[in-house]
Structure 1
Amino acid sequence: SLWAVADCVGMRFLSLNAVADCVGHALARFAICLAGMSLQRARGRHSITLFKNRYKITGETLGFGGFGQVVVGEDTARGGRLVGAKIVSLGKLSNEAQLRREAAIMRRAASKHVCAVYGSGVWHNRFVIVQELCSDGELGKLVQERGALGEDAARGYFHQLIDGVAHLHSVGVIHRDLKLENLMLTHGGTALRIIDFGLAHEYLPLTTGGFAEFPLHKRCGSLFYAAPEVYTPDEGYSYRADVWSCGVILFAMLLAFLPVDHAAHTDWRYAEIHKAQLSGRCVVAAALSRRHAPLQLSQPACELLNQLLRTDPSARVSSADASEHAWLGAENTGGASVHACEGSSAHLSGGLGGLASDLERDLHAGESFAATSRSLSHDGTMTVLDEAEGSWSTPHRRTPPLTAASVCRALDVLPRRNGDGPSQRKLRA
């Protein structure tokens, strides 16, 4: 940089303004170098600072989202109690009003199964939501690592989930993005907390009691978990869209794969489930038949899944009734193995289920991978098609589908197309 300044001074035709520009560029480069060295020394840790003169943001990053991250902090007013701080940069894709709305909904929906909010506000052009620290990871990661959890473990988590969702609905809140990645674990992995209310909708309370409820039409959420009526929003949807998502979560915990790629008739998996329901067959048996796997679940578990995954929302069980289902009151059914069913993958793989037979079936059926990918953002979430409700959508991180891609490469069942790079082939997988 100093040589550049010297060259500028030595060249007679350059004005003093040009010299000043060179000096400015030199100082800017120097500042960038200092910032880079500072970040390298930090190794993912945030500088010690205070938010609202109470919360000390000092900890390491726990996770990243579409527009922000969650870091560990301390509540100095509570003796250094550890908290989680969700920090979102304010900009075109996220504004202060939207984030304040999210924090307000979480306070309204407060319960022992919803991540608690302690404070929120603007801090250095970022919006911070200080919330309960859930340090034991996502429920989705647990399912990825262990495969099928078995009925006893799944019952404990699902009981907390459906109780939390029933409470949300009782106070007029629809989450609209329930999935394994939005369920955090705490207290040694035994307690479940619902997080991420960025897509939630709240009905206004009436003075006479109840809420001013009306059908929602905004197409949003996560592709693998969204209810069928969300894909056909002409008639609208309501609370029972969350119930479908709960059914997908329970299905994944018990069987270690997701029942559908997306709940629309363009997905043959969904078409099979819909056909099975019309003929009175078990949803679980229909899903396992394509994998040539035996049914290892108890009858009460299958009955609950059938009620949660009804393709007709009017026939689907409510969250309140689901929370009272007999399976949740069972002690030890002994009807399920802690491993995945024989012949199925022991791990989730981004909604494909991890079996090449499903992919081969797609190819023989002529399913359009491009049509599916158009409904996805770069990280595998549904894009919002309608902003009429004044809500907002945030792409949510999910685990890359490495297992499915590995199976495709190993068995060479994924066709290669001219002009496709690795990222395009991975997206189609």
Structure 2
Amino acid sequence: MSVQLKDGSRKINQYHLLKEIGKGSFAIVHLGETSDEQRFYAIKEFDKRRMRRQRLMELRKQLKTLSILNDDKDPLNLVRTEVAIMKKLHHPNVLKIYEALDDPNTDHLYLVFEYCHGGVVYSIKPGQQNTPLSEEQARHYFQQIMSGVAYLHSLGIAHRDIKPDNILLAHAKGNCKIADFGVSEMFMKPGDDMVSDMAGTPAFMSPQLCKAGNAFSHGYTDDVWACGVTLYCFLMGRLPFDKPAILDLYSSIVNEEPEFDSRLSPECLDLLQKMFIKDESNRITADAILEHPWITKNGTEPVPSYSDLETSLESITDEDVQSAQFQLM
């Protein structure tokens, strides 16, 4: 239960909410700590009433346009999906969730995550030119990101929103952690990664997601494209495709090639070009990226195997998502 303290702060069960550290469409992120362990946590607070109102507005909109009702856009269902998936993952480069707390008195939901002191790995916005990372620093981060992505793919999970804002640093220049699994997809059959809906951040979307009338794309190859955009941002300090109008952006992604800095090493350029192949059937895979000469420094620094971290991840059912194991406070 949420308790108001004399100093104006709040306590949620054993977690003392110290300050607000982030804000999204439906959630406020707090820095929290426990007095017994003296540990910090990132605690996402959701107002479920607001999320239900948003869902009702979407339903009315769909009924007016005679659209097919789509539960995938239900904000509360997205949170349940995030919890259901994240509770089954164990990898050093994937953000850990500890618990989900449901407060019936306030109708608020709290997700308790490990706190990453270093913040986002790299900040990039449309229209910006930032200071690029060195190839060495970019490789250090990207090795970890791809280790996490390959782990997800090995378990039948496509993240679907890879971007620098969703990669956190445990400490400054420390371990990368992949976060935000709200639009992720769990595939039930080996080799089946077809997705029929659009998800992700426009500037990081693959050509397949940007094509008008394209009913399907592949979740894994979409992830690889988004990873390529992320690496490009690290190395170039800007987005590879950057147009103010959304249709112009989609057209650029589908039809144009990114510009590369001549100072990039041949190995680095080769990897980027393989990630930016328009035809997804020829695009490099996450596993192949881990063995690429630029990633491994020509085999002298192989990425630690994640195979020993693979679990017999059971399929995430609709029941898993609907219940999502929200602990009552």
Task: Provide Cα deviations, 1:10-57, integer angstroms capped at 9, x if missing partner.
Answer: xxxxxxxxxxxxxxxxxxxxxxxxxxxx9xx97xxx723133xxx313
Match of 1:116 among 93, 96, 100: 96
Verify the 8 A CA contact 1:264 1:270 in the aligned structure 2: no
**TM-score calculated relative to the size of structure 1:** 0.57
Q: C-alpha separation between the residues in 2 aligned to 1:235 and 1:104? A: 24
1:218 equivalent in alignment to 2:208: no
- Give the one of 286, 289, 297 matched to 1:322: 289
Match status 1:128 vs 2:110? yes
Task: Confirm or deny: 8 A CA contact 2:124 2:164 kept in the other structure.
Answer: no
Distance 1:266 1:218, change over 3 A: closer
Hey, what does 2:47 align to over in structure 1? 89
Percent of paired sites with the same residue: 27
Q: 1:263 to 1:147 in 2, by over 3 A?
A: farther
Residue aligning to 2:237: 256
For 1:59, the equivalent position in structure 2 comes to 18
> Cα distance 1:119–1:70, how it changes in 2: closer, same or farther (>3 A)?
same
- Whole-angstrom distance in 2 between the partners of 1:315 and 1:300: 18
Offset, 1:263: 9.5
Instruction: Quote how far apart the aligned CAs of 1:121 are.
Output: 2.5
Say which structure is richer in strand: 2
Shift of 1:136: 1.4
Larger relative contact order (CA 8 Å, sep ≥ 6): 2
Secondary structure of the structure 1 residue equivalent to 2:203 = coil
RMSD over equivalenced CA pairs, Å: 2.7
* Partner AA of 1:231 in structure 2: C
SS state at 2:199 partner: coil
Where does residue 9 of structure 2 map in the other structure? 47
Q: Is the 8 A contact 1:179 1:245 kept in 2?
A: yes
Q: Name the larger-Rg structure.
A: 1
1:253/1:80 CA distance change after superposition, 3 Å: same
Tell whether 2:227 aligns with 1:246.
Answer: yes
Give the distance between the partners of 1:214 and 1:234, measured in 2 at CA: 14
Q: Deviations over 1:183-233 (max 9, x none)?
A: 1112233211111111111113x6xxx47x251110121010011111233
Deviation at 1:76, TM superposition (A): 4.9
- The 3 A distance-change label for structure 1 pair 259 and 97 is closer
Q: 1:242 to 1:272 in 2, by over 3 A?
A: same
Q: Which amino acid aligns with 1:115?
A: L
Point out where structure 2 has 5 or more consecutive residues left out of the alignment. Answer: 55-73, 299-320, 322-329
| Pairing of 1:150-165 with structure 2 (within 5 A) | 150-165=134-149
- The secondary structure found in structure 2 opposite 1:129 is strand
Compared CA separation, residues 224 and 265, structure 1 to 2 (3 A)? closer
For 1:266-305, what aligned pairs fall within 5 Å after superposition?
Answer: 267-268=251-252, 271-273=255-257, 287-288=259-260, 295-305=262-272
Partner SS for 1:267: helix
Match of 1:100 in 2: 80
Q: 1:80 to 1:219 in 2, by over 3 A?
A: same
How far has the Cα of 1:110 moved from its partner? 2.6
Counterpart Cα distance in 2 of 1:100 and 1:257: 33
Distance 1:100 1:266, change over 3 A: closer
Instruction: Flag the 1:95–1:76 CA change in 2: closer, same or farther, 3 A.
Output: farther
Distance 1:49 1:203, change over 3 A: same
The CA deviation at 1:300 is: 0.3
Q: Secondary structure at the match of 1:155?
A: helix
Distance apart, 1:85 and its partner CA: 0.5
The one of 179, 188, 213 aligned to 2:172: 188
Alignment match, 2:210: 231
TM-score computed with the length of structure 2 as normaliser? 0.73
Contact 1:61 1:72 in 2 (8 A): yes
Aligned length: 264
